[in-house]
């Protein structure tokens, strides 16, 4: 009888131990039971959450006051007074803030990771040496995917990668940088040829992510770049107009990226995409700010010169004197090229639950739930 009790007791503690081991396993790999989609982020300053803090660059950093003043109450490296679109998307998807890839650390990134770099473009030549270009961001993602496979095994890693959403904001610097530097590419290539190069690079990266396992992609339409405060400084003072020479590039980009995504959905099994119309919403915010509860749509909260369009916010880019508004919530733009947190939230809400702008596409909520 005593032996039988001892065996029962041993069996009991063995089962408890086994349960604890399984529970620990699930605690370390919560997607096995929560089944949340991860979020992988690629792009430029619209999405950079602090990668450029670790890049040898001056113009592409926002790790000083007053950046971050509204929400985080300290500078994180985001070009904003607070949160960016990916931060809101993560919140809506019930994910934590998605961390920047840099500095590299011993972490699985099961909720996703942010590779975006302020100033980056789809073309390697765009601000070469001062940013993390799109191809390098792709290589970082491939590193992460390899680690996931090593740690989780192929089956679980493939499930995570296929369920994840891949969010892009890229191309704007490719079009604005040549105008900033009066580059010869403006005369060497036609609009169609240059846009074709940018779209081609983005398409190739999407295809490579698909080959690794990605299936769901979000690419908001490009902003009206000629109408941000920085661009308006290129127009003769007093004309109160957008900088129109860049507009053909933006318009053609938005047309062509939509065509590419539709074709990829047709050609690639399981491919899904979202292309929220950020261009139209931001254009409306700029031209009709009061309709959305803002007081100022064309002048930035922080900066100097006409429209506060000189890149001087924080006084760390060569111009030390700058103006900072009293109430950031009254402004569409925080600095010379980037919206305020309040404006970004409107863009994120459109992306999350707005009506798809293209037949056959999804909003972000549907992408995460699919």
Name the active-site residue from 45, 117, 221, 336: 45
Q: Shortest CA distance to 274 belongs to which of 203, 232, 346, 220?
A: 220
Q: Residue 61 and residue 58: Cα distance in Å, rounded?
A: 6
Q: How many helices (H) and strands (E) does the chain have?
A: 13, 7
Q: Residue 246 and residue 175: Cα distance in Å, rounded?
A: 7
Catalytic-residue membership of 154:
no
Contact call for residues 233 and 309 (beta carbons, < 8 A): yes
Torsion on CA atoms 196, 202, 204, 210, rounded to nearest 10: -150
Q: Shortest CA distance to 195 belongs to which of 255, 146, 242, 106?
A: 255
Tell me the chain's radius of gyration from C-alpha atoms: 23
> 119: Cβ–Cβ under 8 A, 6 or more apart, which residues?
44, 45, 52, 57, 59, 60, 126, 127, 130, 131, 173
Quote the distance between the C-alpha of residue 175 and its chain's center: 18
Catalytic-residue membership of 70:
no
What distances in angstroms separate CA 108 from CA 30, 157, 165, 338, one per listed residue?
A: 12, 11, 17, 31
Quick check: helix, strand or coil at residue 93?
A: coil
Contact call for residues 93 and 368 (beta carbons, < 8 A): yes
Name the active-site residue from 312, 335, 336, 357: 335
Q: What are phi and psi of 168, to 5 degrees?
A: -125, 140
Name the active-site residue from 274, 338, 357, 361: 338
Catalytic-residue membership of 338:
yes
Catalytic residues: 45, 335, 338
């Amino acid at each position: 009888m005593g032996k039988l009790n001892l065996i029962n007791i041993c069996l009991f503690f063995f089962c408890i131990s086994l349960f604890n081991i399984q529970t620990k396993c699930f605690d370390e790999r919560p997607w096995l039971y929560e089944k949340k989609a991860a979020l992988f982020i690629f792009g430029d300053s619209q999405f950079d959450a602090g990668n450029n803090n670790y890049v040898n660059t001056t113009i592409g950093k926002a790790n000083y006051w007053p950046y971050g003043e509204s929400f985080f109450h300290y500078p994180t490296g985001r070009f904003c007074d607070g949160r960016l679109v990916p931060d809101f998307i993560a919140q809506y998807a019930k994910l934590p803030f998605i961390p920047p890839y840099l500095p590299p650390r011993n972490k699985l990134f099961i909720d996703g990771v942010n590779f975006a770099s302020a100033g980056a473009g789809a073309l390697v030549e765009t601000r070469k040496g001062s940013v993390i270009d799109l191809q390098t961001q792709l290589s970082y993602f491939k590193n992460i995917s390899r680690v996931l496979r090593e740690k989780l095994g192929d089956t679980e890693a493939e499930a995570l990668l296929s369920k994840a959403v891949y969010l892009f904001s890229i191309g704007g610097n490719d079009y604005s940088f040549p105008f900033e530097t009066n580059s010869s590419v403006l005369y060497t290539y036609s609009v169609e040829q240059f846009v074709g190069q940018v779209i081609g690079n983005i398409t190739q990266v999407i295809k490579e992510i698909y080959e690794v396992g990605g299936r769901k992609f979000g690419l908001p339409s490009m902003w009206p770049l000629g109408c941000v405060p920085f661009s308006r400084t290129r127009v003769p003072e007093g004309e109160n107009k957008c900088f129109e020479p860049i507009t053909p590039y933006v318009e053609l980009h938005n047309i062509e990226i939509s065509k590419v995504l539709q074709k990829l959905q047709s050609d690639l099994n399981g491919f899904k995409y979202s292309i929220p119309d950020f261009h139209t919403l931001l254009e409306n915010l700029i031209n009709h700010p009061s309709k959305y509860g803002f007081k100022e749509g064309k002048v930035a909260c922080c900066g100097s010169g006409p429209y506060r369009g000189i890149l001087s916010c924080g006084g760390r880019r060569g111009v030390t004197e700058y103006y900072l508004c009293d109430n950031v919530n009254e402004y569409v733009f925080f600095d010379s090229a980037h919206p305020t947190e309040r404006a970004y939230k409107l863009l994120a809400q459109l992306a999350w639950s707005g009506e798809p702008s293209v037949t056959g596409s999804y909003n972000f909520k549907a992408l995460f739930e699919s």
